[in-house]
Amino acid sequence: MSDASLDRVVIFDTTLRDGEQSPGASMNLEQKLQVARALRDLGVDVIEAGFAAASPGDLQAIRAVGAQIEGPVIASLARCNRGDIDASWEALKDTRRRRCHVFLATSPIHRDFKLKMVKEEIIKRSVEGVKYARERFDDIEFSAEDAARTELEFLAEVVERVIEAGATTVNIPDTVGYALPVTYAETLRFLKKHVRGIDKVVMSVHCHNDLGLAVANSLVGLAEGARQIECTINGIGERAGNASLEEVVMAIRTRRDVVKACTGVKTERLYPTSRLVAQVTGIQVQRNKAIVGQNAFAHEAGIHQHGMLTNRETYEIMRPEEVGFARSALVLGKHSGRHALKERLVALGYQLEEAQIDKVFQDFKVLADKKKDIYDADIEALVLHGQILGKNGVAWELEALSTTSGTGTLPCASVALRDASGERFLAAATGDGPVDAVYRALEKVTGVSAKLRDYQIASVSNGEDAQGEVTIEIEHSTGVYRGRALSTDIIEGSARAFLDVMNRITLKIGPPQESEARTEMGTP
């Protein structure tokens, strides 16, 4: 079945807005641009870049995404008030393809307890918001927040009125993941039957995963006439997350015979994009995650392996290559050159600038001196960590690290850091173990005190000399942060992950006073 005969579904990605609302998943500007470039290369239709009124940082990020990312429509979320809409315009006024996404809650529980508004006020505010946005934007999306728990007659009235006011897309979100497929289908069916003009706009669905039904409900929405699906990479988002983009897209592609629809997503970019988002946010993908998990195309049971050897379709409904998984394992070694690395990067789905390839090649040579065999996962990790942990915005850089520990020995660590000006600082500390000692020493240098909430180490490839990826979650008075780093030495990786967080906190609150730094540490 050719795509020309299928209905085109708009993929609205909200990783940078709803996805970033996952606790500890906040991204800095450079990280947001990295993800936005990946989403553009993936082929999504709309990128919701943030909530412009939420903070000056969000407004700046939306403006930067709009200025640098061509192709997709760039959207900003706004409540139905003039201040939010003005902020969205300020962020997007220089963007060629822009959308204002206004929303207002409609359900009884939101009306009574959050908004304290009666139905008439909800309708009035919704209409006024859409009309005001229409004065500046041609592309207006309206979302009836918590639509899945709203009385059908009232929901239909709100939707009809905002269409009359100029909305071009109407979104019917299951904001708290409450709907079952049968009830969600009934809601959409009721709107199609009772809302005048709904056939003249795009109907959208935005489903959360509190009951594990976000993708199922999104596909039900598609069956009931929705032609935009809102989703995130890896399904990240508030609470249990959003509909997973990769699952939605591959369900549509794999069962196009049933759904009679297609998307513009380049599915071979799904796996690299998933890995990038996992690295940026620190929210790792579970091994058995559909489509992009490590086990998604693994077969261990003997009967499954026999079937695969006979005909791969016995146990695989998709080809790994379709989503960006490479079949080969061992690829490069110590004597491999830049050209071989570049070819392997292309095969893995990465499209890097020459300067980026040079950086990865330098890191590759350093790694090749430490380990005999370089696997695809090692190369991916070098690419992603090189992008995320580059020197943009670094306040402190690790120069040297030494630890001692053992049975009957007090664990201690000494560190040497350089600040942005190149000045060198030393500190030493003891702790409950070598990692704790390193973290105490880093706190002395940076002047930042934080609480370690979570600490995880995972191997990114095979063998005794495999690289370890350290992921940590830190609680600070300014928020919750995730840090990550890569090394064949887990103590060094732990230090770099912690320093990644310290850098972001330092850039937010400012460096310690010079007198404080010299008093605590001294300089050689």
422: DSSP letter: -
Q: Over range 270-296, report the average pLDDT.
A: 89
Residue 299 within a domain: no
Supply the range of the domain harboring residue 186. 3-281
Range of lowest pLDDT (107-121, 266-280, 368-382):
368-382
pLDDT at 91: 98
Domain check: are 62 and 79 in the same one? yes
The two beta strands, 7-8 and 261-262, are parallel
Domain check: are 36 and 180 in the same one? yes
Domain check: are 81 and 148 in the same one? yes
Q: Over range 87-104, report the average pLDDT.
A: 98
Residue 287 within a domain: no
Tell me which range, 291-295, 377-381, 427-431, 512-516, is most confidently predicted by mean pLDDT. Answer: 427-431
Domain check: are 341 and 465 in the same one? no
pLDDT at 312: 62
Residue 30 within a domain: yes
Query: Domain with 61 in it: what CATH number?
Result: 3.20.20.70
Residue 308 within a domain: no
Q: Over range 173-184, report the average pLDDT.
A: 98
| Boundary-marking domain end, from 261, 281, 301 | 281
Domain check: are 73 and 198 in the same one? yes
DSSP lists the bridge partners of residue 46 as 12, 73
Domain check: are 277 and 351 in the same one? no
- Model pLDDT for residues 214-245, shown as the tens digit of each residue: 999 999 999 999 999 999 999 999 999 999 99
pLDDT at 304: 45
Q: What is the mean pLDDT of the chain?
A: 88
Residue 289 within a domain: no
Which helix (H) or strand (E) covers residue 487, if one does? strand 479-487
| Boundary-marking domain end, from 388, 404, 424 | 388
Q: Is the pLDDT of residue 43 over 50?
A: yes
Q: 415 pLDDT band (50/70/90 cuts)?
A: very high
Q: What is the pTM of this model?
A: 0.79
% helix, strand, coil for the chain, step of 5: 45, 20, 30
Q: 282 pLDDT band (50/70/90 cuts)?
A: confident
Domain check: are 368 and 429 in the same one? no
Which residues lie closer than 8 Å to 363 by C-beta, 6 or more apart? Answer: 382, 386
| Boundary-marking domain end, from 368, 388, 408 | 388
Residue predicted with more confidence, 333 or 10: 10
pLDDT at 308: 43
150: DSSP letter: S
pLDDT at 179: 98
**SS (HEC) of 50-105:** ECHHHCHHHHHHHHHHHHHCCCCEEEEEEECCHHHHHHHHHHHCCCCCEEEEEEEE
pLDDT at 313: 64
Tell which residue, 6, 121, 22, 16, has the closest CA to residue 62: 16
Distances (CA, A) of 226 to 170, 171, 203, 390: 10, 9, 5, 41
Range of lowest pLDDT (38-42, 360-364, 460-464, 466-470):
460-464
Q: 330 pLDDT band (50/70/90 cuts)?
A: very low
Domain check: are 111 and 210 in the same one? yes
Do the beta carbons of residue 440 and residue 415 sit within 8 Å?
no
Q: Over range 29-41, report the average pLDDT.
A: 94
Torsion of CA 451, 60, 138, 158, to 10 degrees: 30
Q: How many domains does the chain have?
A: 3
Domain check: are 225 and 93 in the same one? yes
Q: Over range 369-388, report the average pLDDT.
A: 72
Residue with tokens 């040297």: 400
